[in-house]
Amino acid sequence: MKKSGLTEFAVEEENFKLKIRRAGSNQQIVTTIPATASAPMNPPPGPQLASPTLTPISPSPAADQDEPGITYIKSPMVGTFYTSASPENPVFIEINQTIEESTIVCIVEAMKIMNEIQAETRGTILEILIENGQPVEYGQPLFKVRST
The pLDDT of residue 119 is above 70: yes
33, 56, 79 - which closes a domain? 56
Model confidence pLDDT, tens digit, residues 50-98? 444 444 444 444 444 568 899 999 999 999 999 999 999 999 999 999 9
Q: In what order do the strands lie in the sheet with 28-33?
A: 8-13, 16-22, 28-33
Please give the pLDDT value at position 42: 52
Bigger pLDDT: 27 or 45?
45
Domain count of the chain?
A: 2
> Both 21 and 81 in a single domain?
no
The reply to whether 26 and 80 lie within a common domain is no
pLDDT of residue 146: 96
Is residue 82 within 8 A of residue 133, CB to CB? The reply is yes
Tell me: do 51 and 66 sit in the same domain.
no
Which residues constitute the domain of residue 13?
A: 1-56
Percent of the chain, pLDDT > 90? 52
Candidates 145, 43, 31, 135; CA nearest to 82 is: 135
36 and 12 inside one domain: yes
